[in-house]
């Protein structure tokens, strides 16, 4: 019947015996044993009590009684479970009951007991049956004072969890607290809380260590720790919790705000820390000025993990350093996404050409006088399996950095030439359109561009005059030796060279005229500069410059293409100034080859 009862219920017969029973059991134990054994029990330094099967103390020794500030006789008949607090947790209570009933061999647990004089002791309690012959079915309860051991353990834990130089919590304790804060207990409501972190690194601490020695370095760290603690105390004033200040290693510190109210609170904290650290330090006569860089991250606890938070903090601290140090920077998801995609992109760039993830779009180049389609510029797109369609600004730079531009550029050239030839064959009645292909500097330097072009023209059957190569000003400026020879060879072959984005670099027309260049593509910023001041008058300065440029270009035998023509107003003025060709949304956005086919079909007979 009692076996079915659940939970700590010391109400049953294990706790409060009938008076008669207590009286009957109050004799000392082992009354039949020689008195020397009895004396040994009574005087043993280990606190012991014999407890009957119902849970009442039959007899206790001096040491046991001392724990409770009384004499052994007074303890007899008391419920042992109450004396040593065995009923406060269910598991121990059940185990204790099982030992009393002979169903379990032994119970061991740790308890903190309060001595009547006020001090508390940590004890280890063991309950084990006495041999039947000796105990008459009783159990022996022994209580070992482990306060000293506990104290040592606690001190050891403190040592393991704190940094000896600054006395701050160390990395281990910091992560313990962080995980605790992110992992709401079963009774707490998860998801409502926010957490914030200031991750700080001293600027130029290594120099202090190297020039003034480690002792000064250590003193500086301790002084910084003090200031951080002060900032945390001030921030925690009148709030439920004070931010935890920890030294994560070297000259890295963290301030953890476990009950953040939002980024503003973290920004205030970071600002105060920055100021506090910048105040000069007086280290036993040495005056030292340092600064700190701080990465600030603030999030909902339900949306972050310890690793995620630390990674974000690390990245943000890096930004703070990269942006010029002595500042705090707030985590910016967009900046982070950019960094991640840059990494992800560069690792998938090389194989992407083989996997056929690139495609070309073509943007019409239209005659300003006749409004007809003369050519198209090939613009590469990357249909990335994860990131969707990417424009060249996202990956051409990366491809140049890692050299994969050579392979990619060759693919672009071949695809564009093949396409131009195909249009020509499909629309025999129409004046063939030329294709303009962008060429990166590295393609000129790192590959045999001339041989590639010759091979591809031969392979596709495209006439050289229907191919134009676009190079940027900076790619051809100062070119001598190989690039110049390459340009010359291409020009001799009949391929046209255009200077892309003209006007953004040196704009040295006189120099350009000595190179085998035949087209200038006026950068979009010029055309965009044709804005109306106050909505009525065009900006005459821009127009004068562009007009002069176009006239000079014409005198040098170059034709001019205007990029980024978006409005008919711009087109009218560009035409008046003398631009030969226009490219831009006014005419068409970059489109698929099929769309160009349709345009060609429309202009044909």
Interacting residues toward Mg ion by CB under 5 A: 438, 470, 500-501, 563
Q: Can you tell me the distance from the alpha carbon of 348 to that of 353, in angstroms, rounded to the nearest whole number?
A: 10
In the complex, least distance from residue 406 CB atom to ligand C2E, rounded to whole angstroms: 10
| Strand, coil or helix: 518 | coil
Nearer to Mg ion, 113 or 499 (CB): 499
Applying CB under 6 A, among 25, 203, 500, 580 the residue interacting with ligand C2E is: 500
Q: Which two tokens stand for residue 185?
A: 């207990």
Q: What is the contact mask toward ligand C2E in residues 354 to 373, using x (rule: CB under 6 A)?
A: ---------x----------
Decide: is 415 part of the binding site for ligand C2E (CB under 6 A).
Answer: no
In the complex, least distance from residue 407 CB atom to ligand C2E, rounded to whole angstroms: 12
Applying CB under 6 A, among 84, 245, 366, 380 the residue interacting with ligand C2E is: 380
Question: Is residue 158 left, alpha or beta, with left meaning phi > 0 and alpha meaning psi from -120 to 50?
Answer: alpha
In the complex, least distance from residue 583 CB atom to ligand C2E, rounded to whole angstroms: 6
Nearer to Mg ion, 196 or 582 (CB): 582
Cα separation values, 195 from 260, 297, 466, 542, Å: 5, 8, 62, 53
CB 379 within 8 A of CB 360: yes
Decide: is 21 part of the binding site for ligand C2E (CB under 6 A).
Answer: no
In the complex, least distance from residue 363 CB atom to Mg ion, rounded to whole angstroms: 9
Nearest to 452, CA basis, from 421, 392, 408, 419:
408
Q: Can you tell me the distance from the alpha carbon of 27 to that of 44, in angstroms, rounded to the nearest whole number?
A: 19
| Strand, coil or helix: 246 | strand
396 binds, among Mg ion, ligand C2E, none (CB under 5 to 8 A by kind): ligand C2E
* 462-491: contacts with ligand C2E (CB under 6 A): 470
Residue 349: count of CB within 10 angstroms of its CB: 22
Applying CB under 6 A, among 584, 596, 599, 600 the residue interacting with ligand C2E is: 584
In the complex, least distance from residue 505 CB atom to Mg ion, rounded to whole angstroms: 12
Which H helix or E strand runs over 339?
Answer: helix 333-354
In the complex, least distance from residue 347 CB atom to ligand C2E, rounded to whole angstroms: 20
Q: What is the contact mask toward ligand C2E in residues 540 to 579, using x (rule: CB under 6 A)?
A: -----------------------xxxx-------------
Applying CB under 6 A, among 75, 232, 440, 453 the residue interacting with ligand C2E is: 440
| Strand, coil or helix: 520 | strand
- Partners of 471 in the β-ladder: 499
- Span near ligand C2E by CB under 6 A; candidates 271-279, 287-295, 437-445, 532-540: 437-445
Backbone angles phi, psi at 245, to 5 degrees: -105, 130
Nearer to Mg ion, 316 or 561 (CB): 561
DSSP codes of every residue in 115-177: -TTS-EEEEEEEEEEPPHHHHSS-EEEEEEE-HHHHHHHHHHHHHHHB-TTT-SB-HHHHHHH
Q: ∠ CA 31-34-40 to the nearest 5 degrees?
A: 95
Contacts of 519 (CB under 8 A, 6+ apart): 468, 496, 497, 498, 499, 558, 559, 560, 561
In the complex, least distance from residue 596 CB atom to Mg ion, rounded to whole angstroms: 17
Decide: is 446 part of the binding site for ligand C2E (CB under 6 A).
Answer: no
593 binds, among ligand C2E, Mg ion, none (CB under 5 to 8 A by kind): none
Decide: is 501 part of the binding site for ligand C2E (CB under 6 A).
Answer: yes
CB 378 within 8 A of CB 411: no
Nearer to Mg ion, 260 or 438 (CB): 438
Nearer to Mg ion, 255 or 469 (CB): 469
Nearer to Mg ion, 163 or 470 (CB): 470
379 binds, among ligand C2E, Mg ion, none (CB under 5 to 8 A by kind): ligand C2E
80 binds, among Mg ion, ligand C2E, none (CB under 5 to 8 A by kind): none
In the complex, least distance from residue 497 CB atom to ligand C2E, rounded to whole angstroms: 14
Q: Can you tell me the distance from the alpha carbon of 320 to that of 199, in angstroms, rounded to the nearest whole number?
A: 10
Decide: is 445 part of the binding site for ligand C2E (CB under 6 A).
Answer: no
Q: ∠ CA 354-355-356 to the nearest 5 degrees?
A: 90
Q: Can you tell me the distance from the alpha carbon of 515 to that of 498, in angstroms, rounded to the nearest whole number?
A: 11
179 binds, among ligand C2E, Mg ion, none (CB under 5 to 8 A by kind): none
Q: What is the contact mask toward ligand C2E in residues 395 to 414, using x (rule: CB under 6 A)?
A: -x------------x--x--
Footprint of ligand C2E (CB under 6 A): 363, 379-380, 391-393, 396, 409, 412, 438-440, 470, 500-501, 524, 563-566, 583-585, 590
């Amino acid at each position: 019947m009692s076996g079915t009862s659940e939970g700590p219920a010391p109400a049953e017969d294990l706790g409060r015996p009938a008076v008669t029973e207590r009286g009957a059991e109050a004799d000392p134990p082992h009354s039949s044993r020689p008195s020397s054994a009895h004396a040994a029990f009574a005087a043993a330094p280990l606190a012991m009590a014999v407890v009957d099967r119902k849970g009442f103390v039959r007899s206790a020794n001096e040491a046991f009684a001392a724990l409770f500030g009384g004499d052994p006789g007074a303890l007899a008949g008391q419920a042992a479970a109450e004396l040593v607090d065995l009923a406060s947790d269910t598991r121990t209570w059940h185990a204790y009951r099982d030992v009393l009933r002979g169903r379990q061999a032994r119970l061991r647990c740790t308890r903190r007991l309060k001595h009547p004089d006020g001090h508390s002791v940590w004890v280890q309690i063991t309950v084990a049956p006495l041999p039947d012959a000796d105990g008459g079915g009783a159990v022996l309860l022994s209580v070992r004072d482990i306060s000293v051991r506990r104290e040592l353990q606690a001190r050891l834990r403190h040592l393991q969890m704190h940094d000896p130089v600054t006395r701050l919590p160390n990395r281990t304790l910091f992560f313990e607290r962080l995980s605790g804060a992110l992992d709401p207990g079963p009774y707490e409501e998860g998801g409502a809380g926010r957490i914030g972190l200031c991750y700080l690194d001293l600027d130029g601490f290594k120099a202090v260590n190297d020039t003034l020695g480690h002792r000064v370095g250590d003193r500086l760290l301790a002084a910084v720790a003090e200031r951080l603690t002060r900032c945390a105390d001030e921030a925690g004033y009148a709030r439920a919790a004070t931010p935890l200040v920890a030294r994560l290693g070297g000259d890295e510190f963290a301030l953890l705000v476990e009950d953040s109210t939002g980024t503003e609170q973290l920004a205030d904290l970071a600002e105060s820390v920055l100021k506090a650290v910048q105040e000069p330090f007086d280290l036993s006569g040495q005056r030292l000025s340092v600064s700190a860089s701080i990465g600030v991250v603030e999030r909902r606890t339900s949306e972050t993990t310890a690793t995620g938070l630390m990674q974000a903090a690390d990245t943000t601290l890096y930004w703070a350093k990269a942006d010029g140090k002595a500042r705090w920077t707030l985590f910016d998801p967009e900046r982070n996404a950019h960094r991640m995609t840059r990494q992800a992109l560069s690792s998938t760039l090389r194989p992407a050409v083989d996997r056929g993830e690139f495609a070309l779009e073509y943007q019409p180049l239209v005659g300003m006088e006749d409004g007809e389609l003369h050519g198209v510029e090939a613009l590469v797109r990357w249909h990335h399996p994860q990131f969707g369609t990417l424009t060249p600004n996202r990956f051409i730079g990366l491809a140049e950095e890692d050299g994969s531009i050579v392979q990619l550029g060759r693919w672009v050239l071949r695809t564009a030439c093949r396409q131009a030839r195909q249009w020509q064959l499909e629309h025999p009645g129409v004046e063939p359109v030329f294709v303009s292909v962008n060429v990166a500097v590295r393609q000129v330097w790192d590959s045999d561009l001339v041989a590639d072009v010759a091979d591809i023209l031969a392979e596709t059957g495209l006439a050289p005059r229907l191919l134009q190569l676009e190079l940027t000003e900076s790619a051809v400026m100062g070119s001598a030796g190989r690039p110049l020879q390459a340009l010359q060879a291409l020009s001799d072959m009949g391929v046209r060279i255009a200077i892309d984005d003209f006007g953004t670099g040196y704009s040295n027309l006189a120099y350009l005229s000595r190179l085998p260049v035949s087209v200038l593509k006026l950068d979009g910023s010029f055309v965009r500069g044709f804005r109306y001041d106050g909505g009525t008058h065009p900006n005459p300065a821009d127009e004068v410059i562009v007009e002069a440029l176009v006239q000079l270009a014409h005198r040098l035998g170059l034709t001019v293409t205007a990029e980024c023509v978006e409005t008919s107003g711009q087109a009218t003025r560009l035409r008046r100034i003398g631009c030969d060709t226009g490219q831009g949304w006014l005419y068409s956005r970059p489109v698929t080859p099929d769309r160009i086919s349709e345009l060609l079909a429309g202009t044909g007979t």
